[in-house]
Amino acid sequence: TSLNYPYTICLKNNTNGHVVLGFRANGEVKPGSDIISYKRGSFVCHDPYGDYNATYYPNWDGRYATYDWPGYNNGWANINTFYWGCVARYDKPNPSSLTVNPTSLSLSANVNQTATKTFTVKGTNLTSKIAVSSNSSSFTVSPTSLPTAGGTVKVTFNPTAAQSYSGTITVKGGELTKTVEVSGIGNAAPDFTLKELWNFSETKGTLTSKGWDASKVRNIAYGFDQRLYMVYNHSDIKVVNSQTGTELLNLDKTGVSGGTLTFCDVKYCAGKIVACNLASTTDPLKLYAWDNVDAKPICILETTKLGGASQLGDCIGFTGDWTNGSFVFAHDDYNEKVTRIVTYKVTNGIVSETPTVINATNADGTQLKCSSSIRVHPDDNGYWINGKDNPLTRLNTSGVAQYTVPDDVPWGNGFAAFQFKDRGYAMITSFNPGVDSETYKGGCMKLIDTSLGWENGKVLNKYPTAGLASTARNTNCAGGCIVNATSETVEAWVASQLQGVAYFAYNITPSELPIDTAQFDEQSFRCFVSDKILFIKGINTHKVEIFSTMGSKMMEAENSNEINISRLTRGVYIIKATDENNKRNTTKILIK
């Protein structure tokens, strides 16, 4: 037929043993071949030759036998009887389909709290409504029924223990079935809650409440001596009481000069206060070091060798100590489309003027774009890097990106990792989410649980909750966050340029520094380690505090000149001792 419906006929010819059954095909089969051509609406016939009552039937395959219709005489077998013929007419059904997007979901939430994500379902020509179900009580779905056209399904994750979870969401419509694989991480609640102890910010209207302007702070550093060091107005290193915000002094600037900015960053490095300028192709990079708050600065590096970078000094990275360490900087060259990590080696107190350089790249070799205010955090196994345009990213020693730490805002350059009660955490600086003119507002730091791995990091809290500013935009993302954690206490500071500075703590009672900070006689004061015991000689000790070279307090003891330090690992530590007259001094020890 003209519509190509199946058509079957039963015929008889004049030759014994031949029974012919034909069906219509929209083409002609040439004898002796499988080629269909000349769309003439021919019949393809099958003639199994032989005696079908015999056991050897059929004894001939007549797939390509040719026949002659009555009225034609071309020498072929003549068909003389037409028994019957039938045509099957039908309505061709439209094809049905069912799709889900995405096909997998990953969620994380604190124990006994919830997290949600959605996926979409699309159905076409289904014969029944779409049913949605979950095989895990930790993942519930809503709704459980959708119209045949589909819709959106919300998956709610509700962990009851700190562990990994998995499950399968099944979507069924008519005879079709699709699945969405779900996974989840249950995070234990943090072992501490940080309390706001001071907040000098635009949001609070307290920027100048302590006599200094917190909007002029670009970067911050913490020293073991309860002091916060701040790059102030790009021209000074201001020192304040880290627990109260009370201004103490500005560091001496004798001999400080040059730079696009006189000071750009400050860092506490293995017992010394270090600051740098902002260097360019016409201004050399300078690093200054102060032994203490009363000392004059020493220029420990002055170099025009910037490793190919057109600007350097936004942020200081440091690893190791003054015997064997490194200062690390980074720069995103927009024109060359390369992000350089520039390292100056420290050997026996001498900083090399000639740096080594690697490029920060994505896994495919393309540039890891960071924009401005890039902060690099080096360690023995690679680097952490974050800046204005990229989230906190882990790099290997060759500078290749390995993974990023989850956050809903990829802006900010502050980072601090720490342990508290045998659990891993981090702080990162961040801002409110937004677009266009709403970006870079609400500077803050976010507490992340890293106990289940950095890639599965979970944002637990934000400090301050309302952010540091709702109007001022920190478009350079300049600022930072610092954490000082001991076995019993946690302190954290956050700064965002133009927006303010704030301090949060757990199990801390703020105190002013003693008025008498005179040092006792260095000649009579000495420390040494023997058989995991720290011995202090030459003074009657009132209090001893032990810090890492990066400023984190590791231990403290009172009224003892012999302290068990077996819990400390190998390395260099800073000892701050206070005698019975409230005079203090510092020294270093090496635990082998």
pLDDT for the residue 186: 87
pLDDT for the residue 9: 67
User: Are 281 and 336 within one domain?
Assistant: yes
Residue 107 CA to residue 114 CA, distance in Å, equals 9
Residue 483 sits in which domain range? 405-511
Name the pLDDT band for 181 (thresholds 50, 70, 90): very high
Last residue in a domain, options 511, 546, 574:
511
pLDDT for the residue 449: 87
Residue 207 near residue 501, CB atoms below 8 Å: no
pLDDT higher than 60, residue 51: no
pLDDT for the residue 40: 46
Residue 317 CA to residue 576 CA, distance in Å, equals 24
User: Are 496 and 364 within one domain?
Assistant: no
User: Are 106 and 182 within one domain?
Assistant: yes
Of 65-69, 111-115, 525-529, 556-560, the poorest mean pLDDT is in 65-69
Residue 414 near residue 494, CB atoms below 8 Å: yes
pLDDT for the residue 469: 96
Rounded to an integer, the average pLDDT of 165-174 is 96
Q: How many domains does the chain have?
A: 5
Burial per residue of 500-518, b for 16 or more beta-carbon CB atoms within 10 angstroms, e otherwise: bbbbbbbebebeeeeeeee
Q: Domain containing 279 — which CATH number?
A: 2.40.128
Rounded to an integer, the average pLDDT of 441-450 is 93
DSSP conformational letter for 565: -
Other residues' Cβ atoms within 10 Å of the Cβ of residue 350: 11
Name the pLDDT band for 39 (thresholds 50, 70, 90): very low
User: Are 44 and 119 within one domain?
Assistant: no
Rounded mean pLDDT of the chain? 85
User: Are 270 and 386 within one domain?
Assistant: yes
pLDDT tens digit sequence for 9-37: 666 655 554 445 454 444 444 555 544 44
Name the pLDDT band for 3 (thresholds 50, 70, 90): low
Residue 327 CA to residue 414 CA, distance in Å, equals 17
% of the chain beyond a pLDDT of 70: 83
pLDDT for the residue 365: 94
Q: Which residues pair with 156 in a beta bridge?
A: 116, 140
DSSP 229-265: EEEETTTEEEEEETTT--EEEE---TT---SSEEEEE
pLDDT for the residue 320: 92
Rounded to an integer, the average pLDDT of 531-539 is 89
Rounded to an integer, the average pLDDT of 239-258 is 94
Burial per residue of 435-459, b for 16 or more beta-carbon CB atoms within 10 angstroms, e otherwise: eeeebbbbbbbbbbbbbbebebbbb
Residue 416 CA to residue 483 CA, distance in Å, equals 6
pLDDT higher than 80, residue 152: yes
- For the sheet containing 236-241, what is the strand order? 217-223, 227-232, 236-241, 247-250
User: Are 540 and 507 within one domain?
Assistant: no
Residue 486 CA to residue 421 CA, distance in Å, equals 9
pLDDT tens digit sequence for 475-530: 999 999 999 998 899 999 999 999 999 999 999 999 877 544 445 556 678 888 98
Task: Tell me, yes or no, whether 40 lies in a domain.
Answer: yes
pLDDT higher than 90, residue 59: no
User: Are 352 and 259 within one domain?
Assistant: yes
